Amino acid sequence: MYQTVPWFLRELPLFLITAVATHLVMSFAQTLMHCKLAHRPMGGLLFRNHIKFHHTYYSKDHLVSRTYVGDEGNNTPFFFIPVFLVGACTYFVLPIDLFAVQAIACAASFYAHVFFDKEYHVEGSRLQRFAWFRRKQELHFAHHRHADSNFAVIDFFWDRMLGTYRGPDAIPPVPVKTHSSSLSMDPLGH
């Protein structure tokens, strides 16, 4: 029976584990670089670009724009450095099929990071219809309001682990008008 199962199906669990582990490593590295370099002067050009462009265009009360702005301060190349270093090392360690899975997962994770960051800041994003997206967007906006928190873009559990997590800023409740007649009602509405 084992011989009748195609090679790909036998290897699928290992491929999935490799893909998930790759994304988690990428996500953690992004969060750590964002926290330790992009918000500290020791980050050099990465710090200056991030603060001068991204946090200038999107700050406090101006968190979205009609189109994404700030491409001239793009920090994507800085995040490629650790990706290439890890890729170069794993190329010599992993079998070629696992290396290919890792490379694809790495590219997908990297793309997702850039994609979500842009979608968070674009007015009327097509992802607004999803509650999970709105929640992640609010967590990201908390970072723009309080730059010492929520450095993750996708996986905010890293911020919990690093002690930098901050829940979405509370939205002040809308005052509810009550009619004087409703004040005399008993708890059952009679």
Q: 142-156, pLDDT tens digit by residue?
A: 999 998 999 999 999
Residue 74 has pLDDT above 80, yes or no: no
The answer to whether residue 190 scores a pLDDT higher than 60 is no
Q: For position 176, what pLDDT does the model report? A: 43
- What percent of the chain lies above the pLDDT cut of 70? 82
User: What pLDDT is stored for residue 72 in this prediction?
Assistant: 59
* 44-66 core/surface letters (b: 16 or more CB in 10 A; e: else): eebbebbbebbbebbeeeebeee
Instruction: Note the pLDDT tens digit of each residue in 20-66.
Output: 999 999 999 999 999 999 999 998 888 888 888 888 778 877 888 88
7 pLDDT band, cuts 50/70/90, is: low
Question: Using 50, 70 and 90 to split pLDDT, how confident is the model at 70?
Answer: low
Percent pLDDT > 90 in the chain is 53
* Rounded Cα distance, 3 and 5, in Å: 6
Average pLDDT for the chain: 83
For the whole model, what pTM was predicted? 0.79
Q: In terms of C-beta density within 10 A (0-12 exposed, 13-18 middle, 19 or more buried), how is residue 159 classed?
A: buried
Average pLDDT over residues 129-154: 94
Q: Which residue has the higher pLDDT, 149 or 77?
A: 149
Give the residue, 3 or 123, on which the prediction is more confident.
Answer: 123
Average of per-residue pLDDT across 121-143 = 94
Per-residue confidence (pLDDT) for residue 5, from 0 to 100: 66
Residue 154's closest CA among 143, 170, 169? 143
Q: What distances in angstroms separate CA 66 from CA 57, 62, 152, one per listed residue?
A: 12, 11, 23
Is 137's pLDDT higher than 50? Answer: yes
Helix, strand, coil tally for the chain in percent (to 5): 65, 0, 35
Predicted confidence band of residue 170 (pLDDT cuts 50, 70, 90): low
Domain ranges of the chain: 2-183
Residue the block writes with tokens 């998930």: 20
What is the torsional sign of CA 90, 95, 99, 101? negative
